[in-house]
Structure 1
Amino acid sequence: MEIVITGRHTQIKQKFRDVVESKMNRVTAIAPDTQRIQIVVSHEGNPRLADTAQRVEITVIAGSTVIRAEASSADMYTALDLALDKLTLRLRRARDRRKDHRKGYTPLPVDEGPVTPAVDVAEEVEDSTMDSPQAAVASELAPGESVEVQVGDTPIVIRRKLHIAEPMSIDEALYEMELIGHDFFLFVNKETNRPSVVYHRHGWSYGVFEIDTPENVKDLEKKD
């Protein structure tokens, strides 16, 4: 198993690396097929955010499954423990789901109404930077590559990444969303072949939003 620890705006000391390695047995105990664990530690320099200045993101890659969790605190060791607690909970859910599928599984109900979710940008380690927002949006990306650019003198940062994924069902997309801990998940619906988003609405309610072009819709209407 490979453990990769990266610091953003902070240096990672050997003591923290040793603590990480000692705690990762919690991961392998639940997911023995884990191949890689990526940990990113970020430091927020704003004194007003001192209580959450240290953020730890943990990503586990086990076969074709990716599970992610993050947490913030005043120190990186506490943030690590909080993120690890969230991660182990999601790992157990993934393990239990595999058991449920062997026994027979009922998909979660979703609302396919016209509610448009707020779109966020996935938080990944940037691979390169661009000089303008237009360049960041318009540039060609290789699979897994990302670009990041700051808008002028503002604190706004645009980050874009190309992710290659196999088409999946709505139920599978909901499952992936829960594993990475986001409020939404972008995917290609294998039933319609349309770019789609599943998202949390309220309570235990979920929604799905699909995108298509007027031309494609007209073509489908003609075929019908």
Structure 2
Amino acid sequence: MPLTPLAQSDETFLGTSLVRDAGDATRTSSMAAQLLDSHRVAAATAQALGGRWTPESVRTAVDVAPVGETNLIGVTARAADPDQAARLAETFAETALKDRWQTVSAELDRRIAFAARNTAADPNTGEESRKLQLLKFVRESGADPTLGIESTSPPTRVKEMPAAVTIGMAGVGGMFAGILAAVAIERFRRRAHSDDVAVDGRELSVSSPEILRR
């Protein structure tokens, strides 16, 4: 998902949630990724996919993060089937943009009304008229000009570990745990034995009253 952030000095879209340049590509992308990765988007994605998908399972299966030090955001999805993973990633990205547009479009409506009042009050103000025209253009476009979906990568299948290897590793893990338990028991036995010849942290001699009582 490419980013085309607004300039830091932009005043036309003040009061809207359109992505604004943070002065650093990585920081700008990170801020945008946080905006997209919301529970509301996950819930809408789960509803669109249907089946057993839930907001929690969608958030677990989808990662939204900047792509290196660029103005790009990657949406990566994991699923049992490659085609299902691709559908999940695409649905999440499309849902995120629709969700953002609902917010941004309402903000643009308020901004347009404000700019229209200023233009009506002073028709000779060219700057206000220019802002109004630009605001209307973006509003009528029906899409966030700062975020979009440029391309998708083909899904890849991650090879699963063979069952025999998994079982073998489990066996080794069990044996290792058994060894640790045996070592712990032996240490406890030695400590208990040493307590027979030491009381209150002091070494006892053969003539000590404690030894004589034993």
The TM-score bracket by the shorter chain reads under 0.3
Instruction: Tell me: higher relative CO, structure 1 or 2? Use CA pairs within 8 A at least 6 residues apart.
Output: 2
Q: Which has the larger radius of gyration?
A: 2
Q: What TM-score do you get using the length of structure 2 for normalisation?
A: 0.24
Going by fraction, where is strand more abundant, 1 or 2? Answer: 1
Going by fraction, where is helix more abundant, 1 or 2? Answer: 2
